[in-house]
Amino acid sequence: MVHFFQLFTSLRYDTTLCSIPDKYAGGADWNFKSRSPLYMLDYHRDRMLRAATHWGWTAAIESLQGDAGLARLTELMEPAASTKPSPLRVKILLTKDGQLSCEMGPTLKTSLQNLFPSRLPPPGAANLEGDPLRDPIYDVVPDSAQTARSEFTHFKTTERSIYDGARSRVSIQLTDLKEVLLVNNADGSIMEGSMTTPYFWRDGRWATPPVPSKFSWDAGSGGQDGTSRRWALSRGLAVEEVVSVDSLVDGEECWISNGVRGFCCGRLRLNP
């Protein structure tokens, strides 16, 4: 039983985002400032706010709400981040009583088209202008165990034992070009990656496991509604669809994404 946990989200601090061309911005909904080094800040705030609302954390909700909440997050991160070499991985933590804190460390450089793709190219297709680069390619492995959905698979919290266990079973370190897919124990469908949202080529389009807007014991895959996932769905890069672990094919190309690295190419490895 989980007695204490915090909400958290991880995002990218990258000074190159302050001067991105309009073609990469794709609308201003991802950040309340027209130009900001904080990648998809609004989306990160929104996911934390949904979690705080679910658990009825009144003080935490007040810390995040409205433009004041977005400004509070910016003021938390930017002064400290601006003294360090960019880009950075920034982890924002929020307690039940509304206390915000952050941790930060270096992360890899990433092209703008991998942060703001205009599409995800189909398997084997040549890249067009604006497509994310395929290099480097991540090995993507389904977990050998299955996972029960819960509030802690729907929302991102510091209770990470499920994800740590999946990563341990395939021996992933933080800097490895490797990801593990969680499998729902109720129906054998893919829930999500341990640190990413996955996308699979199905029926001529990219499909990602479905996630309801509110936590449900029955609807959806049981995974999280990630920030980069929200970008992909809102811009028509992918659709929601149940993806069975039995449908995965060794060597097939896929994509994975998160709020730090953007969109990365992957290749399924069923016999790692």
> Is residue 1 predicted with pLDDT exceeding 60?
no
pLDDT band per the 50, 70, 90 thresholds, residue 215: very high
One DSSP character per residue, 27-80 reads SSTT-SSSS-SBTTHHHHHHHHHHHHHHHT-HHHHHHHSHHHHHHHHHHHHHHH
pLDDT band per the 50, 70, 90 thresholds, residue 30: confident
- Which tens digits make up the pLDDT trace of 56-105? 999 999 999 999 999 999 999 999 999 999 999 999 999 999 999 999 99
DSSP state of 90: E
Residue ranges of domains in the chain, CATH in brackets: 7-108 (3.30.470), 113-268 (3.20.10.10)
Kindly report whether the peptide bond that precedes residue 87 is cis, defined as omega within 30 degrees of 0: yes
Of 260, 270, 272, 256, whose CA–CA distance to 89 is shortest?
Answer: 260
Lowest pLDDT segment from 34-38, 210-214, 245-249: 34-38
Percent of the chain predicted with pLDDT > 90: 88
Three-state DSSP at 245 gives helix
- The span from the CA of 80 to the CA of 132, in Å, is 30
Average pLDDT over residues 230-249: 96
List Cβ neighbours of 262 (8 Å cut-off, separation of 6 or more): 12, 39, 110, 114, 115, 116, 117, 132, 228
pLDDT at residue 69, as a whole number: 96
The predicted model scores a pTM of 0.95
- The span from the CA of 270 to the CA of 272, in Å, is 6
pLDDT at residue 272, as a whole number: 64
> Is residue 18 predicted with pLDDT exceeding 90?
no
- Which tens digits make up the pLDDT trace of 36-57? 899 999 999 999 999 999 999 9
| Strands 137-142 vs 262-268: parallel, antiparallel or unpaired | parallel
pLDDT at residue 27, as a whole number: 64
One DSSP character per residue, 146-171 reads -B---HHHHS-BS--HHHHHHHHHTT
pLDDT at residue 223, as a whole number: 97
- The span from the CA of 93 to the CA of 166, in Å, is 23
* Mean pLDDT of the residues in the chain: 94
Average pLDDT over residues 124-152: 95
Asked if residues 268 and 252 have their Cβ atoms less than 8 Å apart, the reply is yes
pLDDT at residue 28, as a whole number: 64
Report the amino acid identity of residue 76. L
pLDDT band per the 50, 70, 90 thresholds, residue 2: low
> Is residue 32 predicted with pLDDT exceeding 80?
no
